[in-house]
Structure 1
Amino acid sequence: MQRLADILDGISLMTASIIRWLALMMVLVQFAIVVGRYVFGVNSIAVQESVLYMHATLFMLGAAYTLLVDQHVRVDVFYAKATDTTRRRIDIFGHVVLLIPSMLVLLYWSWPSVRNSWKILEGPISVGGIEAVFLLKSLIPAFCILLVLQSLSLLIRLLLPGTSASKADA
C-alpha cells in the first residue's frame, strides 16, 4: 500500500514539476501585455486570454500538489488544538466524506459539458480569443481526478500505522 501511495504522490509531484513553469510564463506574458499596450499601443485578445488559460491550468492542475504538501486551505477551528489522533480522524473524515465525494460529484456533473465542448471543439471566449475553450473545460475533470488520486494517497498513509500523511510532515 505504501508503494501505491508513493506512485500516487509521484503523479502530483510530476504534474507540479511541469506546471510550475506556467507561473513564470504567466508573469512574463502579462508583463509583455502591459508593455505592448501602454508603450507600443498593441493589444491582442488571444494573448490576454492566454494568461487566463495559464492561470486556470496552474490552479487546477496544481491543487493536488498543494494537498500533497499540506498547503491547502484548512479551517483550523478544531484542528489546530487537536491531538495527532484527532487530527488523523478529522483528515480521514475530510477525505472520505467531503473531498472524494465532492470531486466525484463535480466530475459527474461537469463531464457532459466537457464532452460536448470537445464534440464541437468549442471556440473562443471572446472574439479574437484562443479557439480552445474545450481545453480549458478539460481542466475540470483533470482537477477532479488528480485531487481524488492525491486524496487516496493521503488516505492510505493515514490508515497505515506509523506513517505520515503529507510530504510536509516528512
Structure 2
Amino acid sequence: MIKKIIHFLETMGEWAGKISSWLILVLIFTLVYEVISRHLFNKPTFWSYDISYMLGSSAAFLGMAWVLKNRQHVRVDLFYEKLSNRNQALLDIVLSLCLFFPLIILGFSNSLDAAMNSYLRAETAASSSWRPLIYPLRMVIPIALGLLFLQGVADMIRNIYQLLGRRI
C-alpha cells in the first residue's frame, strides 16, 4: 500500500518533469523563430519576450518536483556523504520538518493568494505593449509548489522507512 502511495506521488512529479521538458522545447522553437524573424527578415516579434519568460519560468518551477525525486538538486555533501544511510534519513527528516515543509507551505499559501488576486483582477504583464494575461503564469507557482510538497511527502515516507531499517 505504501509503495502505491509513493508511486502515485512520484508519478505526478514525473509528469510535471515531462511537461517541463516540453516547455523547454517550445521555448527553444520560440526563440529560434524570434531570432530568424528579427535578423533575417528584420521583423521582430512583439510577443517573444513575454512568451520566453513565461515558458522558462514555468519549466523551472514545474521541474522542481522531478529534480527532487531524482535527487538532482544542489546539496553540500561535505558531511552528508559520510553518514550512514540511517543517519542520512534522520537528517533528511529533521531538515524536511524544520525547513522544507514550512517553507513550501508558506510559499504555496502566498503564491496561491497572489495567483487568485491576479486572476480576480485579470492582471496583465506590464513589460510589453502586448500586455498578456499574467495569472496563468502566477498559477503555475502554487501548482509547482504543491507538486514539490507531494514529492517531499514521498521522500519523507521513504526516509522514515529507511530510518526504521526497511527499504521501499
The verdict on a shared fold, with TM-score over 0.5 as the criterion, is yes
Asked whether 1:162 is paired with 2:166, we answer yes
Residue 71 of structure 1 is matched in structure 2 by 72
Query: Amino acid of the residue matched to residue 101 of structure 1?
Result: P
% identical aligned pairs: 24
Q: What SS does structure 1 have at the residue aligned with 2:57?
A: helix
- Kept in 2: contact 1:30–1:51 (CA 8 A): yes
Q: CA deviation at 1:107?
A: 1.6
- Kept in 2: contact 1:12–1:68 (CA 8 A): yes
Distance 2:18 2:148 in 1: 16
Residue 120 of structure 1 is matched in structure 2 by 121
Q: CA deviation at 1:149?
A: 0.3
Q: CA deviation at 1:127?
A: 2.8
Residue 53 of structure 1 is matched in structure 2 by 54
Q: Any runs of at least 4 consecutive aligned residues in structure 1 with deviations exceeding 6 A, and if so which?
A: none
Distance 1:79 1:33 in 2: 45
Aligned runs of 1:2-151 on 2, under 5 Å?
2-129=3-130, 131-151=132-152
Query: Amino acid of the residue matched to residue 125 of structure 1?
Result: A
Q: What SS does structure 2 have at the residue aligned with 1:100?
A: helix
Unaligned runs of 5+ in 2: none
Which digits, 9 at most, give the CA deviation of each residue in 1:124-152, with x for residues without a partner? Answer: 23233351211111122112111110000
* TM-score, normalising length: structure 1: 0.88
Unaligned runs of 5+ in 1: 165-170
- Kept in 1: contact 2:19–2:62 (CA 8 A): no
* TM-score, normalising length: structure 2: 0.89
Aligned residues: 164
Query: Amino acid of the residue matched to residue 162 of structure 1?
Result: R
Which digits, 9 at most, give the CA deviation of each residue in 1:57-87, with x for residues without a partner? Answer: 1110110010000001112232122222221
